Chain A
Amino acid sequence: MSDGAAHTPEGRWPLVEGALVLAVALWALGFQLWLPSTHVAEADYQAVAQVLAKEARPGDVVLLHPWWTERARIYVPEGLPVVGHLHSDGEDLTPHPRIWVLSEPHLPRADEGGFDKKFLPSRTKVGEARDFGNLRLTLFTNGRFRPLIFSAKALLPQLSVYLEGPDGARQSCPWTGNGHRCPNGKVVAAEWHDVHFEPRPCLRFDPPGGPTKLVVELPPVPAAEEVVLHTGYTWERASWVQGVTGSEVGLEVNGKVAPLSVPAGVEARWTVQQQGVPDGATVRAWVQAPNPNARELCLEVYGYGRAP
Chain B
Amino acid sequence: MTKPPLTFEAKERRLDRRIGWALFAAGFVALLLTEQPVGFVRDESVYFHAAESHARWFQLLLSSPSQAFTDEAIARAFDFNHEHPALMKNLFGISYVVLHEKLGLLRPAAAFRVPAFAFAALILPLIYALTRRLFGRPAALFAAVSFFLVPRQFFNAHLSCFDVPIAAMWTLVVYAFFRALTEKRWWIYTGIAFGLALGTKHNGFFLPVVLTPFSLVLGWRASKDSPKARELFLWINGAFVFAAVLYAVMAVALGPQRMLAGFSVLSPHLAVFVAACVAGGVLSWRLAKAHEGTFRAVAPLVAMAVLGPVIFYLHWPYLWHHPVERTAWYLNFHLTHNHYAWFYLGELLRAPPFPLSYVVVKTALTVPTSLFVPMTTGFAWVCWRVWQRKVTLLELLVLANAVTSIAIISQPQVPHFGGVKHWFPSMPFLAVLAGGALARGAWGLTEWLKPRWKGASERRVFGALAVACALPALLATVRLYEFGTSAYSELAGGVPGAASLGMQRQFWANNLTGVLPWLNANARPGERVYLHENHGGQVRDYQRNGMLRTDLVIVGSPPEADLVAYQYHQEFREHEFMTWQAFGTTRPVYGLYLDETPQVVIYRRQR
Which one of A18, A40, A194 lies within 8 Å of B577 (CB-CB)? Answer: A194
Contact residues in B for A29 (Cβ distance below 8 Å): 370, 468, 471-472, 475
Cβ B496 vs Cβ A107 within 8 A: yes
Instruction: Given A5-B133, A13-B440, A18-B465, check contact A31 B346 (CB 8 Å).
Output: no
Cβ A15 vs Cβ B445 within 8 A: yes
Closest Cβ–Cβ distance, residue B366 to chain A (whole Å): 13
Does A270 make an interface contact (CB < 8 A)? no
Interface string of B389-416 (1 = CB under 8 A from A): 1111111100000000000000000000
Contact residues in A for B593 (Cβ distance below 8 Å): 71
Instruction: Given A2-B392, A192-B581, check contact A21 B573 (CB 8 Å).
Output: no
Cβ B465 vs Cβ A199 within 8 A: no
Cβ B499 vs Cβ A66 within 8 A: yes
Bound complex: CA A24 to CA B368 (Å): 10
Bound complex: CA A199 to CA B441 (Å): 51
Contact residues in A for B418 (Cβ distance below 8 Å): none
Does A124 make an interface contact (CB < 8 A)? no
Closest Cβ–Cβ distance, residue B403 to chain A (whole Å): 16
Closest Cβ–Cβ distance, residue A299 to chain B (whole Å): 15
Contact residues in B for A108 (Cβ distance below 8 Å): 493-494, 496-497, 500
Interface string of A79-93 (1 = CB under 8 A from B): 001100110000000
Does B574 make an interface contact (CB < 8 A)? yes
Interface string of B434-468 (1 = CB under 8 A from A): 00011011111101100000000000010001001
Does B595 make an interface contact (CB < 8 A)? yes
Cβ B573 vs Cβ A197 within 8 A: yes
Does A55 make an interface contact (CB < 8 A)? no
Interface string of B380-391 (1 = CB under 8 A from A): 010011000111
Cβ A28 vs Cβ B472 within 8 A: yes
Contact residues in B for A234 (Cβ distance below 8 Å): 574
Instruction: Given A2-B391, A66-B500, check contact A28 B490 (CB 8 Å).
Output: yes
Does B199 make an interface contact (CB < 8 A)? no
Closest Cβ–Cβ distance, residue B383 to chain A (whole Å): 12
Kindly identify, within residues 498 to 551 of chain B, every residue whose CB is under 8 Å from any CB belonging to chain A: 499-502
Total A residues in contact with B, Cβ cutoff 8 Å: 63
Cβ A35 vs Cβ B494 within 8 A: yes
Does A129 make an interface contact (CB < 8 A)? no
B377, B393, B476, most chain A CB atoms within 10 A: B377
Closest to B502 in A: A86
Does A167 make an interface contact (CB < 8 A)? no
Contact residues in A for B391 (Cβ distance below 8 Å): 1-2
Does B590 make an interface contact (CB < 8 A)? yes
Cβ A28 vs Cβ B369 within 8 A: yes
Does B323 make an interface contact (CB < 8 A)? no
Instruction: Given A32-B472, A111-B500, check contact A1 B445 (CB 8 Å).
Output: no
Closest to B573 in A: A194
Does A191 make an interface contact (CB < 8 A)? yes
Instruction: Given A66-B499, A68-B597, check contact A15 B447 (CB 8 Å).
Output: yes
Closest Cβ–Cβ distance, residue A308 to chain B (whole Å): 28
Contact residues in A for B596 (Cβ distance below 8 Å): 38-40, 69, 71, 104, 107
Bound complex: CA A15 to CA B456 (Å): 14
Which one of A109, A197, A236 lies within 8 Å of B500 (CB-CB)? Answer: A109
Cβ B440 vs Cβ A14 within 8 A: yes
Cβ B590 vs Cβ A17 within 8 A: no
Cβ B574 vs Cβ A193 within 8 A: yes
Cβ B585 vs Cβ A78 within 8 A: yes
Cβ A28 vs Cβ B368 within 8 A: yes
Which one of A74, A81, A82, A236 lies within 8 Å of B341 (CB-CB)? Answer: A236
Bound complex: CA A235 to CA B574 (Å): 6
Cβ A16 vs Cβ B444 within 8 A: yes
Cβ A71 vs Cβ B598 within 8 A: yes
Which one of B442, B448, B580, B589 lies within 8 Å of A199 (CB-CB)? Answer: B580
Bound complex: CA A28 to CA B496 (Å): 15
Kindly identify, within residues 3 to 18 of chain A, every residue whose CB is under 8 Å from any CB belonging to chain B: 3-7, 9, 12-18
Does B469 make an interface contact (CB < 8 A)? yes
Bound complex: CA A86 to CA B587 (Å): 18
Contact residues in B for A194 (Cβ distance below 8 Å): 573-574, 577
Kindly identify, within residues 115 to 173 of chain B, every residue whose CB is under 8 Å from any CB belonging to chain A: 133-134, 136
Closest to B580 in A: A192
Bound complex: CA A24 to CA B465 (Å): 11
Closest Cβ–Cβ distance, residue A85 to chain B (whole Å): 8
Instruction: Given A9-B444, A199-B577, check contact A1 B396 (CB 8 Å).
Output: yes
Bound complex: CA A18 to CA B447 (Å): 11
Bound complex: CA A193 to CA B582 (Å): 12
Cβ A86 vs Cβ B570 within 8 A: yes
Bound complex: CA A37 to CA B586 (Å): 28
Which one of B373, B393, B444, B590 lies within 8 Å of A15 (CB-CB)? Answer: B444
Contact residues in B for A35 (Cβ distance below 8 Å): 494, 595
Closest to A191 in B: B581
Cβ B493 vs Cβ A14 within 8 A: no
Which one of A1, A22, A73 lies within 8 Å of B392 (CB-CB)? Answer: A1
Bound complex: CA A135 to CA B588 (Å): 19
Kindly identify, within residues 90 to 124 of chain A, every residue whose CB is under 8 Å from any CB belonging to chain B: 104, 107-111
Bound complex: CA A86 to CA B573 (Å): 11
Bound complex: CA A28 to CA B151 (Å): 14
Does B15 make an interface contact (CB < 8 A)? no
Contact residues in A for B396 (Cβ distance below 8 Å): 1
Cβ B437 vs Cβ A197 within 8 A: no
Does B22 make an interface contact (CB < 8 A)? no
Bound complex: CA A96 to CA B204 (Å): 59
Bound complex: CA A225 to CA B361 (Å): 48
Cβ A73 vs Cβ B588 within 8 A: yes
Contact residues in B for A235 (Cβ distance below 8 Å): 573-574
7 inter-chain pairs at a CB distance below 8 angstroms, sorted by A residue, are: A1-B217, A5-B134, A7-B390, A15-B444, A18-B444, A25-B471, A78-B585
3 nearest CB pairs, A to B: A14-B444, A18-B441, A108-B493
- 4 further A-B contacts with Cβ under 8 Å, apart from A193-B574, A234-B574, are A28-B472, A29-B471, A32-B476, A73-B588
